[in-house]
């Protein structure tokens, strides 16, 4: 996608905030526990390569991604640290992953059987590192009982083409106050872990929420994701043990200002009609940038004042009701601080009836990312 470098719309990413969030978490970890930064989905919309660079400076010793292509992009950018693909990769790409020293997630013995021929074909410099996923209650991927896990472990031990580097699970309710289901999952994982014949190098169960509120379960590796970006995994349900610093701001400007009279309509479908004479500003941001149509009726900040988004959000533009006539070029804040007021991703998500993860990940590459340097 083309990046809009010649319009006044941008995401500003504070690399110092990312660094501070990681360092605060590392200070809480046991000396034997490492932190791997989760940079999937273009760094949750913040920019994968730039976030990974900052995370490495902050003390992250490895990375987690969702798909093999993200891992390969990190390798192509020069990252030599361990990388784990959290999703299931086709066995057809096992040799490619092994050649690039990328670790893959395995959730069945069948995957190992299907991957073996490609690993046996030709000379490999290293075995394929795998992490066994345990489905302790998430219901997504992984081994669900000790018998199948043990069988896969036995198969792996019989084939030097594989190296059992890790064992992990993912909790469904680590960000909730009620810990009943969390404890059931933890018990299931511990049972499965005990059934392994061999002990992998990494045993990891903690995403951001687990590490923040259930640190006793951390194992020797933490997958630090959404909190890295300064976002509370629970939304507003639980308070984190230390202040998280949001890294992302979303800014634009007024590009057109006009006065409309009472009864005049604004935007597609004529869903908004002015109740009186009003000043209206146009902002060059739309749903093609990830600012969804359902945000009609929400607001932006201009000169520290909340200005309602009126009419439907268009593909490339939206309109706001102004308190008075303002100059073209006046700064508009969609996320961040403006005039002493703050508009957060959580505020946006609450209005859109979703989670801040979705809002951040939906911000498209058409919006340029500008990076404030680390201190």
Q: Are 227 and 240 in contact (CB under 8 A)?
A: yes
Query: Residue 142: left if φ>0, alpha if ψ -120 to 50, beta else—which one?
Result: left
The fourth-level CATH superfamily of domain 248-343 is Lyase, Ornithine Decarboxylase; Chain A, domain 1 (2.40.37.10)
Known binding positions: 140, 315
pLDDT recorded at residue 206: 96
- Give the span between the Cα atoms of 253 and 246, in whole angstroms: 22
Q: Give yes or no: 40 in active site.
A: yes
What is the pLDDT at residue 312? Answer: 98
pLDDT at res. 123? 74
Consecutive sets of 10 residues in the chain, 375 residues long: mean pLDDT of each? 94 98 97 97 98 98 98 98 98 96 98 95 84 97 97 95 97 96 97 93 97 94 98 96 97 98 97 97 98 97 98 98 98 98 98 97 97 90
pLDDT score, position 375: 80
Question: Which CATH number is associated with domain 15-229?
Answer: 3.20.20.10
pLDDT computed for residue 182 by the predictor: 96
φ and ψ at residue 261, rounded to 5 degrees: -100, 165
Q: Are 266 and 297 in contact (CB under 8 A)?
A: no
**Looking at residue 198, what is its pLDDT?**
86
Which DSSP state fits 125?
A: S
Q: Per the structure block, which two tokens stand in for 365?
A: 């590459």
Cα(237)–Cα(178) distance, rounded to whole angstroms? 11
> What are the boundaries of each domain within the chain?
15-229, 248-343
Handedness of CA 240, 294, 18, 72 (dihedral sign): positive
Catalytic residue from among 40, 272, 357, 371 = 40
Cα dihedral across residues 353, 357, 359, 364: positive or negative: negative
* Structure letter (DSSP) for residue 230: T
Strand, helix or coil for residue 210:
helix
**Cα–Cα distance for residue pair 43/357, rounded to 1 Å:** 11
pLDDT at residue 1, as a whole number: 78
Separation of alpha carbons 294 and 351, rounded Å: 9
Give pLDDT, residue 124.
Answer: 77
Return the C-alpha torsion angle 77, 208, 239, 55, nearest 10: -20
Residue 97 pLDDT = 97
Q: How far is Cα of residue 275 from the mean position of the Cα atoms in its chain?
A: 41
d(CA 224, CA 245): 14
Extract the annotated binding site for substrate.
140, 315
pLDDT number for residue 374 = 86
Element (H, E) at 151: helix 146-157
19, 202, 229, 268: the catalytic one is: 268
Round to whole Å and give the CA distance between 242 and 8: 34
């Amino acid at each position: 996608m083309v990046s809009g470098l010649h319009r006044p719309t941008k995401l500003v990413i504070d690399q110092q905030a990312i660094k501070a969030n990681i360092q605060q978490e590392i200070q809480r970890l046991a000396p034997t526990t490492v932190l791997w930064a989760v940079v999937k989905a273009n760094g949750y919309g913040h920019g994968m390569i730039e976030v990974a660079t900052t995370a490495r400076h902050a003390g992250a010793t490895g990375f987690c991604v969702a798909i093999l292509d993200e891992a390969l992009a990190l390798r192509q950018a020069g990252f030599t640290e361990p990388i784990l693909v959290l999703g299931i990769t086709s066995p057809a790409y096992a040799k490619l992953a092994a050649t690039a020293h990328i670790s893959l997630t395995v959730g069945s013995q069948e995957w190992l059987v299907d991957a073996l021929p490609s690993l046996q074909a030709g000379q490999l410099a290293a075995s394929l590192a795998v992490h066994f996923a345990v489905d302790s209650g998430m219901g997504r991927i992984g081994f669900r009982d000790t018998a199948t896990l043990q069988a896969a472990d036995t198969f792996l031990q019989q084939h030097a083409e594989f190296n059992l580097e890790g064992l992990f699970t993912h909790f469904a309710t680590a960000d909730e106050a009620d810990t009943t289901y969390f404890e059931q999952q933890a018990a299931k994982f511990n049972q499965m872990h005990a059934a392994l014949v061999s002990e992998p190098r990494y045993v990891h169960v903690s995403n951001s929420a687990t590490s923040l509120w259930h640190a006793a379960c951390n194992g020797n590796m933490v997958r630090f994701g959404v909190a890295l970006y300064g976002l509370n995994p629970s939304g507003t349900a639980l308070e984190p043990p230390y202040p998280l610093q949001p890294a992302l701001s979303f800014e634009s400007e007024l590009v057109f200002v006009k006065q409309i009279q009472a009864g005049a309509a604004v935007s597609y479908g004529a869903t908004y009609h002015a109740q009186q004479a009003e000043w209206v500003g146009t902002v060059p941001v739309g749903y093609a940038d990830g600012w969804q149509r359902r945000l009609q009726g929400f607001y932006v900040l201009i000169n520290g004042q909340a200005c309602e988004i009126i009419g439907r959000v268009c593909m490339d533009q939206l309109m706001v009701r102004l308190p008075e006539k303002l100059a073209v070029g006046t700064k508009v804040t969609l996320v961040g601080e403006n005039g002493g007021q703050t508009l957060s991703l959580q505020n946006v998500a609450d209005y859109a009836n979703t989670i801040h993860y979705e809002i951040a990940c939906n911000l498209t590459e058409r919006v340029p990312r500008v990076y404030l340097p680390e201190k």
